[in-house]
Amino acid sequence: MKTKYLSYSGVVSRFIMPFIMLASLLVFSNSGCDWNRIGSKFTIDQLEYTVHTEDKASKTGTVSVGAASTNIFGNIGIPASVANGKINYSVVRVPAYAFSECSRLTSIIIPDSVTEIGQNAFADCSTLASITIPDSVTSIEKGAFSKCGKLPPILFNKGKKILARYSPSNGDTSYSIPDTVTYIGGSAFESCSRLKSIVIPDSVTEIDQNAFAECSNLASVIIPNSVTSIGGGAFIECTSLANIIIPDSVTSIGEFAFWSCSGLTSVTIGNNVTSIGKYAFRDCCSLTSITIPDSVTSIRAEAFYGCDKLTDVYFKGDAPNLPEGDAFFFPSVIYYKPGTKGWKNPWDGRPTKEWVE
């Protein structure tokens, strides 16, 4: 019969280690680690909050806010902060679809703590007649107020720096944006089919997604030299636009920015644009030539897809990066300046020639 011996280390393993593990769990549960609560939800009154960040040490965090259900009703004031489980949370965002289809919501006040309003956040709120947007909001995504028939036809934030919505009922064909506005929100002018001309002041720095989408009669627009970015789908299906000048201040052209602008014959791209997004000029079937400045370093796939009359593409600088290829199609011919680099024949599947002015 063999005698079994239990070593000192074995005693530690069998009896001491469980206590060490328990102590570790207690330490972690009381630390600032918050991984287990991010994304969790809680409801107070008619509003549901989703945890974004949390710091147990300081007992603070951030949340987004939305309707607890589409049955939310009446006049709602969103608080700047809420307390839950001994944590005080700042309300920083109204996310996508947060209050969509809340057909009994009549008014809402957004607090100064909120910085973003997501896509379709208040879409289809058919009885929403009043909304207060604070100056703290810096981003309004596309469709945020779509099909809100009782809202004022022209909607700004408190300081009139953001133009959130334009939908006049009197059939105006032209509009001059006030020079207080610095940001044209997502879908602000979407489907304003009677609008023929728009004046954008030098105060505007950003034109967001779908800002002028489907303005089918918009024939005249001058983008001022203050604008730095043109968002995705900003002028999608503006079929009456004949020419567009993108100023030197712009650094990026978003995806679908001028997609299906079938009347567009002339495009001038500013000298500081560095990237052209996917389908940016897709189906611009009247476009015959385009000159691309030497600042452009990247062109996304199918940027000029469906441009069946685009025969002459002039590059002022080195061959740009084509992450996915297939930016240009038949019948385009690529012209490049002597001394520039990266060109070969064919390039992106299209024939190349030296550009002799």
State how far the Cα of 313 lies from the Cα of 303, in Å rounded to an integer.
Answer: 13
Residue 267 lies in a domain: yes
Residue 296 lies in a domain: yes
State how far the Cα of 46 lies from the Cα of 66, in Å rounded to an integer.
Answer: 9
pLDDT at position 85 is: 87
Q: Which residues contact 288 (CB under 8 A, 6 or more apart)?
A: 265, 309, 310, 311, 312
In the three-class reduction of DSSP (H, G, I as helix; E, B as strand; rest coil), residue 355 is classed as coil
State how far the Cα of 264 lies from the Cα of 284, in Å rounded to an integer.
Answer: 6
Q: Which residues contact 282 (CB under 8 A, 6 or more apart)?
A: 256, 259, 260, 302, 303, 304, 305, 306, 307
pLDDT at position 325 is: 81
Residue 58 lies in a domain: no
pLDDT at position 220 is: 87
CATH number at residue 338: 3.80.10.10
Q: Following DSSP, what letter does each residue of 63-83 receive, concatenated?
A: EEEEESSTT-EEEEE--SEEE
In the three-class reduction of DSSP (H, G, I as helix; E, B as strand; rest coil), residue 341 is classed as coil
Number of structural domains in the chain: 1
State how far the Cα of 225 lies from the Cα of 268, in Å rounded to an integer.
Answer: 13
Q: Residue 213 CA to chain centroid, in angstroms?
A: 14
Q: What angle do CA 84, 90, 94 make, to 5 degrees?
A: 105
Q: What domain range is 167 assigned to?
A: 152-357
Give every residue of the chain whose pLDDT is below 50, as ranges: 1-36
Neighbours of 146 (CB within 10 A): 21
Q: Which residues of 304-318 are buried (b: 16+ CB within 10 A; e: fewer)?
A: bbbbeebeebbbbbb
Pull the structure tokens for residue 7: 């070593």
